[in-house]
């Protein structure tokens, strides 16, 4: 019987482990793949308070080592379900084992939705990015492209326009899902170019991005843009369907929870990008981890 089982070894999950362990609880962290989450692919983090520069890999490794040093048990097993047996009685089922615990913290994160292009995965960190605020500064003075039509894409294009010589905003439709105010602000930027009714159909370059191929949906015409970076903002994909029996999911699949990280099921908490929230950043994931851990500790002790 563990005090707390944490599902996910990203920033939120490992931070939760650190706070729970420091509160004297026994902790098991279950991770399907590898520790670190999305941040592990970021070459340089510059927006985490108190740390001027650190790679995503080093940041995640430091978190991992800190949790391990405090006594966290970390296993690489895919969680299939969570069963609620009442106060201080939860069961976490994996593909290999079943674990009893008093509380569960779901910190499964969310995947950036890819375009599904050849070489997309291999070029992450070499010109392909899913986070403009994380990586935008590395493209100062260069031409870049943003793909998407929602608020994230619009905000990314605005952010990048302050660093880059030219920003192409590529959207598959002729109208945006993002707020009109933001779109209009972009139209006033001299270095932002709209390319509508179009899809990115190829990534060019061998070891790093050297350009992209864009195909017009209406007439089939193709143009090549010599961009050094492409920022993909076509949504995220949470993986929470396995927990639908114990938590409420919104239409997009995110766990319904406010800043208190409470799910509505006693003893089941959530933290990080997998929950409903307005801002998904490294800092907010860490904050969620702390909040969820302390809430879980209070629930157990109560």
Supply the residues annotated as catalytic: 131, 134-135
HEC string of 13-46 equals HHHHHHHHHHCCCCEEEECCCCCCHHHHHCCCEC
Spacing of C-alpha 127 from chain mean position: 18
Number of CB atoms found within 10 A of residue 93's CB: 15
User: Per-residue DSSP letters for 176-206?
Assistant: -SS-HHHHHHHHT-TTEEEE-SEEEEEEE-S
Q: How far is Cα 80 from Cα 201, in angstroms, rounded to an integer?
A: 35
3-class secondary-structure state, position 111: strand
3-class secondary-structure state, position 277: coil
**83 - beta bridge partners?**
91
Supply 217's token pair: 């949906």
């Amino acid at each position: 019987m563990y005090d707390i089982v944490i599902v996910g070894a990203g920033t939120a999950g490992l931070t939760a482990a650190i706070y729970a362990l420091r509160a004297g609880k026994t902790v098991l962290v279950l991770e399907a793949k590898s520790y670190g989450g999305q941040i592990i692919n970021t070459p340089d983090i510059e927006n985490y308070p108190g740390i001027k520069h650190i790679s995503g890999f080093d940041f995640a490794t430091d978190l991992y080592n800190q949790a391990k040093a405090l006594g966290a048990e970390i296993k690489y097993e895919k969680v299939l379900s969570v069963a609620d047996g009442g106060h201080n009685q939860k069961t976490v089922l994996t593909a290999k084992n079943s674990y009893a615990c008093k509380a569960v913290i779901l910190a499964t994160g969310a995947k950036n939705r890819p375009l599904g292009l050849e070489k997309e995965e291999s070029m992450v960190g070499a010109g392909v990015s899913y986070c403009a605020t994380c990586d935008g500064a590395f493209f100062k003075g260069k031409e870049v492209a943003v793909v998407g039509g929602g608020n994230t894409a619009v905000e990314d294009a605005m952010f990048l326009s302050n660093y880059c010589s030219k920003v192409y905003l590529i959207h598959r439709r002729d109208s945006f899902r993002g707020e009109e105010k933001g779109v209009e602000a972009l139209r006033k930027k001299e270095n932002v170019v709209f390319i509508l009714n179009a899809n990115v159909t190829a990534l060019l370059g061998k070891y790093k991005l050297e350009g992209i191929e864009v195909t017009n949906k209406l007439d089939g015409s193709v143009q090549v843009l010599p961009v050094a970076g492409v920022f993909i903002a076509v949504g995220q994909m949470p993986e929470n369907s396995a927990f639908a029996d114990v938590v409420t999911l919104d239409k997009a699949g995110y766990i319904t929870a406010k800043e208190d990280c409470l799910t509505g099921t006693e003893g089941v908490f959530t933290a990080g990008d997998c929950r409903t929230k307005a801002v998904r950043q490294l800092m907010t994931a860490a904050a969620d981890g702390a909040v969820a851990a302390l809430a879980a500790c209070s629930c157990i002790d109560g």
